[in-house]
Amino acid sequence: MKIFLLEDDFSLNRLICNALEQKGFFVTSVDDGYDAMTHILNNKYDLYILDINVPGFSGHEVLEEIRKINKSLPVIIVSAQLDMDNISKAYDLGCNDYLKKPFELEELLLHIKYHIKTLYKNDIDKDIIDLGYGFSFDLKDQTLYKHEHEIILTQKEKLLLTLFIHNLDKTVSSEMIHEYVWDNKEMEAVSMRSMIHKLQKKLKSGMIVNIRGVGYKLMKKEFT
């Protein structure tokens, strides 16, 4: 799962990044609103964490741009601004949560965990997505299991599996994979095929199918 962080306090930025990466998330972090705008206009993320008072575009302006692109993905504001005008403006612009600084990292992780659940409405009371055939994926820890035994995934494999879970039984185009897993960075087609082949070998044969000329699909027809 991909999380975007806008925080201009270097120490706090690093603390949040390290805590999230230890949980298996892929984090893109910036410290000013200009870089934030560039990233959100050119890449896709699953959840956004924004400070308000940052150099360049403010967190409010970045939030407004995010909502032009996507109306539903979770946005958490983290700010020392405690006045009602700033809080009210953030909610009016479409934030899902407002976490007041200073906060404990565990508190932020709990908020993230809640919003991850909202992305999977059919599994809102579960941390574990059942993939069938004895496989399951822990949304909180970004971990794949087969009969409760962990299967080691690379960071890109975690991103790819998350993308497939977002689109169960739907075709995921090669362009979507390139954008989500590689952030639209230059890559060779063989790299994508190789990674998909490696993930296929870690799952049951036939779970990921090739839709010739279009992309790939994680099948759910026989899932439990």
Distance CA 149, CA 59 (A): 41
Give the torsion sign (CA, 20, 110, 181, 169): positive
Per-residue pLDDT tens digits for 166-202: 888 899 999 999 989 998 888 887 899 999 999 999 9
Q: What is the pLDDT of residue 219?
A: 86
Distance CA 141, CA 87 (A): 30
Residue ranges of the chain with pLDDT lower than 50?
Answer: 122-125, 223-224
Secondary structure (3-state) at 151: strand
What are phi and psi for residue 110, nearest 5 degrees?
-65, -40
Q: What is the pLDDT of residue 187?
A: 84
Q: What is the pLDDT of residue 123?
A: 46
**Token output for 110:** 């709990």
**Token output for 86:** 């700033």
Predicted structure pTM score: 0.74
Domains recognised in the chain with CATH numbers: 2-119 (3.40.50.2300), 124-218 (1.10.10.10)
